[in-house]
């Protein structure tokens, strides 16, 4: 007969992250640049107390275990209190991206059946318009103090956040329940079709927090000061609100002030050591520091993911500013961490240039995530760094189902990511494309990310996107859509010549078109679907 372990059974609950932070790092600061414009300071201890009061307030509003509570809010201490007050009390925290089209926001609220919506002051006009047509929403809570409450509004059940919290006494014990209970929901961006909900459990979220804080993952330590640029509505800010509580470090919340100048000021004034976000946001910050001849005094590491981080961006951060870039890959369905670019000990003797090449890839998987690449028939492909295949993953924080959709998304027990990738013999994965974005020229595949990375290293290029254009002979050929840096001059011919020697000649794009701006999705990724639509009638000079 097997012998059972004789250890305590304690469910992995989100509330335990916060109670740990409050008990062991209670005086560590949480600093927020508020929508109101000022800087607000609180601590993990204070956040824990106010989260308990918020849990009491939600019960008073009639919320019951399993009820969904929506948020339309930027990164800030009140949003943090909602994360914990909601999930900790057995409700489900549903973060919504306010940059989605209003009809998408309405669709998502209705699909999740949110009973309460918390909203930041500058997003209130959107909610005021949508809520009358959303019968599931019984209460709207405006995240502000009494003085900022609007006098004229049309909502019958509008509450003031601070009044709700202040009315409670905090005498509340975090409940204990099954660790597989739903803790939060995030919807995918839905650039094709309706958004789909990923429902995270307490268990998956706590395990993800452990793993993402590891030295070979985001390497989050109590001595760090972390500023998540990635919004709390984008896959729970990559779990940072949880992993920072787990290690008890200082957290700096930028609100909606995400332009280069505002970020730089906050990085310096709060002595930020670490950050995380998508490449587009870093373009803004790097432009600002370059234009003003600035340096960072404490900023040491940033995790970049959500889209491919161009190697030129990694080099600029490291060579010009001494900031280490950790390239990461993940997705909503993965809570989101999957792989990160970190070296192994056997790489320590390699020349800097070769190390850099390894770190440009999307990286190796953290414990808890397994991956494979398969061909069109589902056959596993070799890990040789050359063979491409559809990337599939499985693990403790990978979805098994989408919310409200019966059909399982899994293939043979694995989650098909929709990304195309190579994996090398050392287990380093490199994304070559979203499968929908692959450029198929005469039956051969060309990586749009590779084409973009080359031009992103050109001094006159601010941003570049590669898309497939129709070609009578090759079916598809790559074309580049480019935004120049302010004041920069460069021609189509110069950019095409820039590819010489950097990629196989036959992969060189057939055309370059300049535009003032590229379309982005609500999470800051290149909106390729829209781009392809814009250029669907484009006539290639080679056609």
Q: Which residues bind ligand AMP (CB under 6 A)?
A: 188-189, 235, 305-309, 327-332, 336, 362, 417-419, 431, 434, 523
Among residues 318, 445, 450, 502, the one annotated as catalytic is 445
| Residue 82: CB minimum distance to ligand AMP, A | 21
CA 363/CA 305 separation, integer angstroms: 11
158-160 and 139-142 as β-strands: parallel, antiparallel, unpaired? parallel
Q: Is 440 a catalytic residue?
A: yes
| Residue 484: CB minimum distance to ligand AMP, A | 24
Alpha-carbon separation of residue 495 from 112, 116, 288, 455, 491 (angstroms): 47, 52, 25, 7, 6
- How many other β-carbons are positioned within 10 Å of the β-carbon of residue 146? 10
Name which of 419 and 463 has its Cβ closer to ligand AMP.
419
| Residue 363: CB minimum distance to ligand AMP, A | 8
| Residue 327: CB minimum distance to ligand AMP, A | 6
Among residues 162, 179, 333, 392, the one annotated as catalytic is 333
Name residue, tokens 């254009």: 469
| Residue 1: CB minimum distance to ligand AMP, A | 45
Name which of 25 and 332 has its Cβ closer to ligand AMP.
332
Buried b (16+ CB within 10 A) or exposed e, 360-380: bbbbbbbebbebbbbeeeeee
Among residues 129, 440, 536, 539, the one annotated as catalytic is 440
Instruction: Name which of 13, 113, 15 is nearest 63 in CA terms.
Output: 113
CA 479/CA 465 separation, integer angstroms: 8
Q: Do you find a cis peptide bond into 336, omega within 30 degrees of 0?
A: yes
R_g of the chain, CA atoms, integer Å:
24
| Residue 11: CB minimum distance to ligand AMP, A | 27
Q: Is 332 a catalytic residue?
A: no
CA 378/CA 15 separation, integer angstroms: 40
Name which of 98 and 306 has its Cβ closer to ligand AMP.
306
Cβ-contact 461, 496 below 8 angstroms: no
Name which of 236 and 273 has its Cβ closer to ligand AMP.
236
- How many other β-carbons are positioned within 10 Å of the β-carbon of residue 290? 14
Name which of 51 and 523 has its Cβ closer to ligand AMP.
523
225-228 and 250-253 as β-strands: parallel, antiparallel, unpaired? parallel
Among residues 19, 43, 95, 188, the one annotated as catalytic is 188
> Which distant-in-sequence residues (6+ apart) come within 8 Å of 280 by Cβ?
307, 463, 520, 524
Name which of 90 and 330 has its Cβ closer to ligand AMP.
330
Q: Which active-site residues does the annotation give?
A: 188, 333, 440, 445
């Amino acid at each position: 007969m097997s012998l059972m372990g004789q250890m305590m059974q304690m469910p992995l609950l989100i509330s335990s992250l916060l109670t740990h932070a409050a008990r062991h790092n209670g005086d560590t600061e949480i600093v927020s640049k508020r929508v109101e414009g000022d800087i607000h300071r609180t601590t993990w201890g204070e956040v824990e107390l106010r989260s308990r009061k918020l849990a009491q307030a939600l019960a008073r509003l009639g919320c019951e275990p399993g009820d969904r509570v929506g948020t339309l809010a930027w990164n800030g201490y009140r949003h943090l209190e909602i994360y914990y007050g909601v999930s900790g009390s057995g409700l489900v925290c549903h973060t919504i991206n306010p940059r989605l089209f209003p009809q998408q926001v309405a669709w998502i609220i209705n699909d999740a059946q949110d009973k309460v919506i918390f909203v930041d002051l500058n997003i209130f006009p959107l909610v005021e318009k949508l809520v009358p047509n959303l019968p599931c929403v019984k209460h709207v809570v405006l995240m502000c103090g009494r003085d900022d409450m609007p006098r004229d509004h049309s909502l019958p059940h509008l509450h003031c956040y601070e009044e709700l919290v202040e009315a409670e006494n905090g005498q509340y014990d975090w409940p204990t329940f099954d660790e597989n209970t739903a803790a939060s929901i995030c919807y995918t961006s839905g650039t094709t079709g309706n958004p789909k909900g990923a429902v995270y459990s307490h268990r998956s979220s706590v395990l993800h927090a452990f793993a993402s804080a590891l030295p070979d993952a985001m390497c989050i330590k109590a001595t760090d000061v972390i500023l998540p640029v990635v919004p709390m509505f984008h896959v729970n800010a990559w779990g940072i609100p949880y992993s920072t509580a787990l290690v008890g470090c200082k957290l700096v919340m930028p609100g909606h002030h995400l332009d280069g100048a505002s970020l730089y000021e906050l990085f310096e004034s709060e002595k930020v050591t670490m950050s995380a976000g998508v490449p587009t946001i870093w373009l803004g910050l790097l432009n600002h520091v370059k234009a003003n001849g600035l340096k960072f005094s404490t900023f040491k590491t940033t995790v970049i993911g959500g889209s491919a981080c161009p190697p030129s961006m990694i080099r600029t951060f490291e060579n010009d500013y001494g900031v280490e870039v950790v390239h990461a890959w993940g997705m909503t369905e993965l809570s989101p961490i999957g792989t990160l670019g970190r070296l192994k000990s056997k790489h320590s003797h390699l020349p800097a240039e070769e190390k850099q090449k390894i770190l440009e890839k999307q990286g190796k998987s953290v414990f808890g995530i397994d991956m494979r690449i398969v061909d069109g028939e589902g056959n596993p492909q070799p890990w040789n760094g050359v063979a491409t295949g559809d990337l599939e993953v499985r693990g403790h924080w990978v979805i098994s189902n989408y919310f409200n959709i019966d059909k399982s998304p899994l293939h043979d027990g694995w989650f098909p990511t929709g990304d195309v990738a190579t994996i090398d013999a050392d287990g380093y994965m490199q994304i070559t494309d979203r499968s929908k974005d692959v450029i198929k020229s005469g039956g051969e595949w060309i990586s749009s990310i590779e084409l973009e990375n080359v031009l992103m290293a050109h001094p006159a290029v601010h941003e570049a996107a590669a898309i497939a254009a129709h070609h009578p002979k090759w079916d598809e050929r790559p074309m580049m859509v480019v935004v120049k840096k302010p004041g920069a001059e460069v021609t189509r011919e110069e950019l095409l010549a820039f590819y010489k020697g950097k990629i196989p000649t036959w992969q060189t794009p057939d055309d370059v078109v300049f535009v003032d701006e590229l379309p982005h999705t609500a999470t800051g990724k290149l909106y390729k679907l829209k781009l392809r639509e814009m250029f669907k009638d484009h006539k290639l000079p080679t056609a």
